[in-house]
Amino acid sequence: MPETPLDPSGTPPIALLDVDAELVDNLGTLVATEAQGMVLNLLADLHPADIARLLTHLPREHALQLIHWMDEQVSSEVLAELDPAYQAALLKELPPEQITAIVDELDTDDAADVLAELPDEVTEQILPALEDAADLQELLGYGEDTAGGLMAREYVSVEAAETIAEAVEEVRRKEADVVDLYVVYVVDEQNRLVGVVTLKRLLLAARHAQARVADVMDTDPIQVPTDLDQEEVARIMERYDLVSLPVVDPDGCLVGRITIDDVVDVLREEAEEDLQRMSGLTGDEEPTDSVLRITRGRLPWLLIGMVGAVLSGLVIGAFEDELERAVVLAFFIPVVMAMAGNAGIQSSAIVVQGLASGDVWGSDITTRLGKEMAVALINGVVLGLVLVGVVWLLVGIGFWGDEVDAPMQLALTSSLALLMVILLATGIGTTIPLLLHRVGIDPALATGPFITTSNDILGLAIFFLLAALLYLP
Amino acid sequence: MPETPLDPSGTPPIALLDVDAELVDNLGTLVATEAQGMVLNLLADLHPADIARLLTHLPREHALQLIHWMDEQVSSEVLAELDPAYQAALLKELPPEQITAIVDELDTDDAADVLAELPDEVTEQILPALEDAADLQELLGYGEDTAGGLMAREYVSVEAAETIAEAVEEVRRKEADVVDLYVVYVVDEQNRLVGVVTLKRLLLAARHAQARVADVMDTDPIQVPTDLDQEEVARIMERYDLVSLPVVDPDGCLVGRITIDDVVDVLREEAEEDLQRMSGLTGDEEPTDSVLRITRGRLPWLLIGMVGAVLSGLVIGAFEDELERAVVLAFFIPVVMAMAGNAGIQSSAIVVQGLASGDVWGSDITTRLGKEMAVALINGVVLGLVLVGVVWLLVGIGFWGDEVDAPMQLALTSSLALLMVILLATGIGTTIPLLLHRVGIDPALATGPFITTSNDILGLAIFFLLAALLYLP
C-alpha cells in the first residue's frame, strides 16, 4: 500500500488540486519543453493518486519521462495507484534496475499484481533481485481473484504469550513496513491465528506494559482462507464492517492481511464489470485500450445479438403470408419486441440483484413469481389500453389509409397480444435466473442476450399467431 | 456504528454461521411456537449483521417478536445493520419508550437515518427524549446524500497544545462512545481542524507522554465540507485510501467523521442504482417492495419504451409501400434494430463509465469518436459479411421461396445498410453522452432509452431508404 496522506513520514501536505484537462495540457507542454524543474514543482503539491490520474492522460512517452524525473519513492507511490496493467505497460519500458528499485518500494500485494502483468521474461529477470522475492513468489502462486491474490504480506503479528510492551515494540519495528495499521494479529507458537488486538485497545492497555497480549485480545477473529473468492472477501468485510481481514492457510496459520482499500477497489471493479456486461462489453474494457482489443471484446457480443436478431427475423419470415395479407402488422413488430425485452429485463435485473445481495433466495421462486406476475398484469393492462388508444388515433388520422377495415379488432388483438407477451416475458425473466442460480450457474450471465432473445422470439410468435387467429379474415 | 467483532467489550465470538433458507425455516418454526429460550440460544452465536439478514427473511410479526425478545443493546446492534427504511418499518410498531431505548444505543449517523425514515409524528415524539437530541437535530438538517448526512458525531479530537498523555486519556474517555477508532483529530482553540494523528503514531509516541500533540500530528489533513455529495466523498476516500474522513463546517470547524464502512455502503448502493437504471428500474426498487410500488416504479419506463417503439413502428409504417412490394424486407427489421441498439449501447456505456471514473474527459471528443468509429467500421464490415452469408444461405435453402429474385442485390443492400446503421449508432452513442456531460447533464441518463430509441428510428429509416433505392426495382 502506498504512503497515505495520514502518515507523517510520507508525502507532503495535500492540496486537493483539481486534476483537469487544463492541468494536463499545461503539464504536457512543460514535459515537451523538458522543463523538469517546473514539472517537479507542480507535482510536488499533488498526492500520488492525483499524479497517477494525470499520467493516464499523458501520451506514453511523456508519462515515462515523468517517471524518469521523479525519485524512486515517489514514482513507486504513483505507480501503486495505477491499474496493474497500466503499471506494467509503463514499467516494461524502463531498465531492469529501475524496475527492481520501484517494485521494491511497493507493498507486496501491489508488487505481486505488477509482476503478474509484466511480460514473463521481465518478471523472471527481476524477481530474484527483489527484496521480498520469496514472499512475492508465494503471492504469485495464488489465484488473482482470491483472498491470497488480494492479501499483502505486510502485517504485524505477536505471540499470545508476549507482553503489551513487546507488542508495541513489534509495531515500532514494522513502522515503515506496515504503513496503514489498525490491528495487531495474535498467533500461537505454530503461527496459527488465535486472536486480534485493535490499536485502540493496545494504546489503552499500554499502561499495563507487562500484561500479556492474550489478556487483552479478542479470540476467534473473523478470518478467511487463501482460496476464498474476492467477491466473498468483499462481502465479509462489508457485512462485518472490517477495515482489515487476516488470511490463513489450510493449517490456520496466518499468511497475510487484506485491507479495506483493496476491497473498495474490488467493489468498484465489479460494479463496472457488471455494467459493462449488461451493455454487451467484455467487463474489462478500458477507454485506453487499442482499437483491435476493443473490437475483439465487442464483436462476440454483437455476433450473439445478430444470431438472436436473425432468429427473430426467421419468426417474422415464417409469418410472411400473414404479413403480406395485412402489412399493417409490421407496425407492431418493434412494439412487441421492445415490451417483451423491457419487461423481461426489469424482472430479471431485480432477481439477479436480489440473489447477489442475498435479498432474494433461490427458494423464493413461487413468492417472487407471484409478485412479478401481478406487476406484469397491471403493467400489461395499462400498456394494452395505451396501445388501443394509439391504434385508434392512427386509424383516425388515416395513417394506414383504407387498409385497416376492422380497426377495433386490430386494436384488441394487438393489445391482447401485448398483455400476453408482457406476462410471458416477465415469467421468463423471473424464473430463468432463479433456475440458473439453483443449478449453480451465475444468473447474471442470463440477464442479457439470452432472456432478451428468447422473449423477442416468443413475443413475435405469440403476436403473429394471435393476429392470424383473431384479426386476419 | 455497531460494535464490531474486533471490539472486546462488545459481541460474543463470531461463528461464521451460514444464514440460509434452512436456518430461516427453523427459526420461523421456533418463533411460531414461542420457544424464546431456544431462539435466543440460536441467535447468541450469530453476528448482529447475520441476525439482521435473518430478520429480513422473516414475516414482519416474527421479526418484531424477535426484537421484543432480544435485549436492547443487541436489538440496536441488529437494527443498525438493516436498511434505514427497514429499521423504521420495524421500529414504528414498538412503544415509544422502546424506540427511544434502541435509538439511544445507535451511533448518531445511524440514529439520524432511522429518525429520517420514521413517520414525522413518531420522530417528533421521541427526539426530545433521546440522549443525543441536539446532535441528531443538527444531523437531520443535512441533506441525506451529503457528507453531513453520512457523518457521525462520534469522534475523538484534542487540541494541538495538549500532551500525548492527555490525548491518550481522551481516547480512554471516549472508548465506549467511539467504537472504531483509527485517527485522533487535532483542533485549535476555535475547534478548527488543524491536523490528524493516527493511532499507530499515538501508540509509538506514547513513551514521550509530555510531548505536544502538535509535534506528532500531520498538518493539512484531507477534509470535506458538510454539503459535499456522497459520491464525491466516496471518490475521495477511495482515491486517497482513507478509512476515516473529517467533516468541517464553513468556518473550518470539525463537526463530524465519516468512516469507510459508510462509504462501502454508498458504493454498493450506487452500483445497484446504476444497474437498475440501465434495466429500466427506478434505482431504488427493493425485492420486498409491494406490487403497487414496484408497478409505479416500472410503468413509466415501459411507457417511455412504448413511445419509442411506436415511433419505430411509424417509421416502418411510412415504408409500408416498400414492404408490400417486398415483404422479405421485414426479416431485416429485428437485425437492424438489434445491431443499432447494441452498438450504440456499447459505445455510450464505455463513455459514460469513463466520464464517471475520470478516465474519459469531456474534451476527448475527437479522439474518442475516432477510436469508436474505427471499431464500428471493423465490426460493421464483419457483421455485414456475416449477413451476406445468412441471406445467401436462406435463399439457398429456399426460405423465401421464389420471392427474392435478386438475392445478390438483397444481400449487398442489407449489409451496406447494416454497416451504415452501426456507424451511425456508434457516432450517436459516443457523442450524446459527451455533449450532455459538457452542458452539465448527467450522461448516465442518456445511455438507456434515448440512445436506443433514436438509433432504432434512424437505423430503420436508413435501411428502408437504401432498400428503396438499391433493391426495389
Q: How much is the pLDDT for A13? A: 32
| Per-residue burial over B373-397, b = 16 or more CB atoms within 10 Å of its CB, e = otherwise | bbbbbbbbebbbebbbebbeebbee
**Per-residue pLDDT for A387 more than 70?**
yes
Query: Nearest CA to CA, how far is B339 from chain A (Å)?
Result: 7
Which cell goes with A17?
A: 488540486
What is the ipTM score, two decimals?
Answer: 0.75
Query: Nearest CA to CA, how far is B436 from chain A (Å)?
Result: 17
The whole-angstrom separation of Cα B79 and Cα B85 is 11
Q: Are A467 and A461 in contact (CB under 8 A)?
A: no
Q: Are B444 and B322 in contact (CB under 8 A)?
A: no
Mean pLDDT over residues B192-202, rounded?
95
User: Percent of chain A, pLDDT > 90?
Assistant: 42
Which cell goes with B113?
A: 437515518
* The Cα angle at residue A44 between residues A39 and A46, in degrees rounded to 5: 105
What residues contact residue A425 under an 8 Å CB cut-off, 6+ apart? A339, A340, A341, A343, A344, A347, A376, A455, A458, A459
Probe site for chain B from A1, A4, A6, A437 (most B CB atoms < 10 A): A6
Q: What is the CA radius of gyration of chain A?
A: 30
Left if phi > 0, otherwise alpha if psi is -120 to 50, otherwise beta: which for A159? Answer: beta
Residue A405 C-alpha from the chain's centroid? 55
Which cell goes with B3?
A: 460494535
Say which range, A149-163, A357-371, A390-404, has the weakest mean pLDDT: A357-371
pLDDT category, A362, cuts 50, 70, 90?
Answer: low
What residues contact residue B311 under an 8 Å CB cut-off, 6+ apart? B453, B456, B457
* CA-based nearest residue in chain B for residue A344: B279
Q: How far is CA A243 from CA A78, A217, A226, A238, B463, in A?
A: 23, 17, 18, 9, 56
Which among B66, B74, B73 is positioned nearest to B36, based on CA atoms? Answer: B66
**Cβ contact, residue pair A309, B338, below 8 Å:** yes
Probe site for chain A from B4, B6, B451 (most A CB atoms < 10 A): B6
Residue with cell 430478520: B55
pLDDT category, B42, cuts 50, 70, 90?
Answer: confident
Q: How much is the pLDDT for A12? A: 32
Q: Are B462 and B417 in contact (CB under 8 A)?
A: yes
Probe site for chain A from B203, B223, B438 (most A CB atoms < 10 A): B203
Beta bridge partners of A152: A257
Closest Cβ–Cβ partner in B13, B47, B57 for A240: B47
Amino acid at B211: A
* CA-based nearest residue in chain A for residue B178: A200
Which among B418, B419, B393, B420 is positioned nearest to B404, based on CA atoms? Answer: B393
Q: How far is CA B33 from CA A71, B28, B90, in A?
A: 70, 9, 21
User: Percent of chain B, pLDDT > 70?
Assistant: 93
Q: According to DSSP H, which parts of B35-163 are helical?
A: 36-44, 48-55, 60-69, 72-80, 84-91, 96-105, 108-117, 120-126, 133-140, 147-150
Which cell goes with A99?
A: 524496475
What residues contact residue A14 under an 8 Å CB cut-off, 6+ apart? A5, A47, B220, B222, B240
Q: How much is the pLDDT for B391? A: 94
pLDDT tens profile A40-65: 888 888 888 888 888 877 777 888 88
The whole-angstrom separation of Cα B100 and Cα A104 is 55
**Cβ contact, residue pair B302, A400, below 8 Å:** no
Q: How much is the pLDDT for B188? A: 95
Residues of A with CB below 8 A from B354's CB? Answer: 287
Q: Are A421 and A383 in contact (CB under 8 A)?
A: no
**Cβ contact, residue pair A339, B219, below 8 Å:** no
Which cell goes with A301?
A: 457480443
Mean pLDDT over residues A130-150, rounded?
91
First to last CA, chain A: 75
**Cβ contact, residue pair B305, A360, below 8 Å:** no
pLDDT category, B447, cuts 50, 70, 90?
Answer: low
DSSP letters, B195-211, are EEEEHHHHHHHTTSTTS
Three-state DSSP class for residue B288? coil
φ, ψ of residue B292 to 5 degrees: the values are -65, -40
Q: How much is the pLDDT for B9? A: 35
pLDDT category, B6, cuts 50, 70, 90?
Answer: very low
* CA-based nearest residue in chain A for residue B19: A358
Q: Are A167 and A158 in contact (CB under 8 A)?
A: yes
pLDDT tens profile B242-287: 999 999 999 999 999 999 988 888 888 888 887 787 777 777 787 7
Range picked from A344-353, B60-69, B418-427 for highest mean pLDDT: B418-427
Three-state DSSP class for residue B58? coil
* The Cα angle at residue B165 between residues A3 and B184, in degrees rounded to 5: 40
Greatest alpha-carbon span in chain A: 100
Q: How much is the pLDDT for B392? A: 92
Q: How much is the pLDDT for B2? A: 36
Cβ burial, residue A300 (10 Å; 0-12/13-18/19+) = exposed
DSSP-derived letter for residue B298 is H
pLDDT category, A6, cuts 50, 70, 90?
Answer: very low
Residues of A with CB below 8 A from B280's CB? Answer: 342, 345-346, 349
Mean pLDDT over residues A103-128, rounded?
89
DSSP-derived letter for residue B146 is B
Rounded to 10 degrees, the C-alpha dihedral A281/A287/A289/A293 comes to 20
User: Percent of chain B, pLDDT > 90?
Assistant: 42
Left if phi > 0, otherwise alpha if psi is -120 to 50, otherwise beta: which for A296? Answer: alpha
Probe site for chain B from A239, A328, A418 (most B CB atoms < 10 A): A239
Three-state DSSP class for residue B163? strand
Residue with cell 502538535: B214
The whole-angstrom separation of Cα B220 and Cα B195 is 6
In a 13 Å sphere around the CA of A192, the CA atoms on its Cβ side amount to: 9
Average pLDDT, chain A: 86
The whole-angstrom separation of Cα A376 and Cα A380 is 6
Q: How much is the pLDDT for B16? A: 45
Query: Nearest CA to CA, how far is B128 from chain A (Å)?
Result: 30
Amino acid at B219: T
pLDDT category, A202, cuts 50, 70, 90?
Answer: very high
pLDDT category, A363, cuts 50, 70, 90?
Answer: low
* CA-based nearest residue in chain A for residue B381: A299
The whole-angstrom separation of Cα B171 and Cα A203 is 9
Residues of A with CB below 8 A from B348's CB? Answer: 279
Say which range, A161-170, A307-316, B60-69, has the weakest mean pLDDT: B60-69
**Cβ contact, residue pair A342, B4, below 8 Å:** no
pLDDT category, B18, cuts 50, 70, 90?
Answer: low
* The Cα angle at residue B112 between residues A234 and B180, in degrees rounded to 5: 45
Strands A193-198 and A183-187: antiparallel
Give chain A as a 3 state SS string: CCCCCCCCCCCCCCCCCCCCHHHHHHHHHHHHCCCHHHHHHHHHCCCHHHHHHHHCCCCHHHHHHHHHHCCHHHHHHHHHCCCHHHHHHHHCCCCHHHHHHHHHHCCHHHHHHHHHHCCHHHHHHHHHHCCCHHHHHHHHCCCCCEHHHHCECCCCEEECCCEHHHHHHHHHHCCCCCCCCCEEEEECCCCEEEEEEEHHHHHHHCCCCCCEHHHHCEECCCCEECCCEHHHHHHHHHHCCCCEEEEECCCCEEEEEEEHHHHHHHHHHHHHHHHHHHCCCCCCCCCCCCHHHHHHHHHHHHHHHHHHHHHHHHHHHHCHHHHHHCHHHHHHHHHHHHHHHHHHHHHHHHHHHHHHHCCCCHHHHHHHHHHHHHHHHHHHHHHHHHHHHHHHHHHHCCCCCCCCCCHHHHHHHHHHHHHHHHHHHHHHHHHHHHHHHHCCCCCHHHHCHHHHHHHHHHHHHHHHHHHHHHHCC
**Cβ contact, residue pair B317, A331, below 8 Å:** yes
Say which range, A223-227, A272-276, A379-383, B143-147, has the weakest mean pLDDT: A272-276
Mean pLDDT over residues A143-172, rounded?
94
Q: How much is the pLDDT for A238? A: 86
Q: How much is the pLDDT for A41? A: 86
**Cβ contact, residue pair A220, B15, below 8 Å:** yes
Range picked from A133-142, A160-169, B24-33, B429-438 for highest mean pLDDT: A160-169
Query: Nearest CA to CA, how far is A25 from chain B (Å)?
Result: 11
Q: Are A156 and A254 in contact (CB under 8 A)?
A: no
Closest Cβ–Cβ partner in A2, A346, A460 for B298: A346
**Cβ contact, residue pair A306, B335, below 8 Å:** yes
Residues of A with CB below 8 A from B345's CB? Answer: 279-280
Residues of B with CB below 8 A from A28's CB? Answer: none
Closest Cβ–Cβ partner in A4, A279, A294 for B240: A4
Mean pLDDT over residues A169-187, rounded?
94
Count how many residues are written for chain A.
473
In a 13 Å sphere around the CA of B373, the CA atoms on its Cβ side amount to: 11
**Cβ contact, residue pair B309, A285, below 8 Å:** no
Closest Cβ–Cβ partner in B342, B350, B374 for A291: B374
The whole-angstrom separation of Cα A231 and Cα A229 is 5
Q: What is the CA radius of gyration of chain B?
A: 30
